[in-house]
Amino acid sequence: MGSLSSAMRLSFIGRSFARTHAYSFYVIRSTFKSLSNDGLEDWKALLVVTVAMLFAALEGVAAVSIALQHRVLLPDAKQSFRMLWGTVALSVAAINYYTLVNRRRWSTFEREFQHRSKATRLMGGFVVWASMILIAAVARWMLSLAWMLPG
């Protein structure tokens, strides 16, 4: 009985993550659609979400490096850095494409998102865009600290 309960909790956590992931994409996509309805809003939103997730991954690596007082997964050589993080970026982009854009999976929650009050949608949009800016700013700050550590 315990494994069923654990499986249900894991399913709930997965569904909550999927909803949050889709909502961020939905807000960003809606912003691009309202600015320029050129049919590329899915791709623009995919790019923004992928870059934000890449910055979040770099934040995590910087936090581990700072905690260990030694750079981890942040090589000195520019080519090594580009190869490692380029691979991570392509992987994140592929996962985001599959989980959001492919077969419009993000739209599973679209009706739920559209039926929220105008105030809730406005606040949600603010939180998503503020989070994107905060993720980039914190990544920049943490990486500047991590680069000072010995490799």
Contact assessment for residue 151 and residue 75, using Cβ atoms and an 8 Å cutoff: yes
pLDDT tier at 15 (50, 70, 90 boundaries)? confident
**Residue 2 has what pLDDT?**
63
pLDDT tier at 151 (50, 70, 90 boundaries)? confident
Q: Is residue 142 part of a domain?
A: yes
Domain count, the chain: 1
pLDDT in tens, 28-54: 999 999 999 899 999 999 999 999 999
Question: Domain range for residue 36?
Answer: 2-146
Instruction: Please determine, for residue 13, whether its predicted confidence score (pLDDT) is greater than 90.
Output: no
**Residue 133 has what pLDDT?**
97
Contact assessment for residue 49 and residue 106, using Cβ atoms and an 8 Å cutoff: no
Q: Is residue 105 part of a domain?
A: yes
**Residue 1 has what pLDDT?**
53
In angstroms, how far is CA 65 from the centroid of its own chain?
21
CA 61 – CA 142 distance, rounded (Å)? 9
pLDDT in tens, 111-140: 999 999 999 999 999 999 999 999 999 999
Q: Is residue 151 part of a domain?
A: no
Q: Is residue 35 part of a domain?
A: yes
Q: Is residue 85 part of a domain?
A: yes
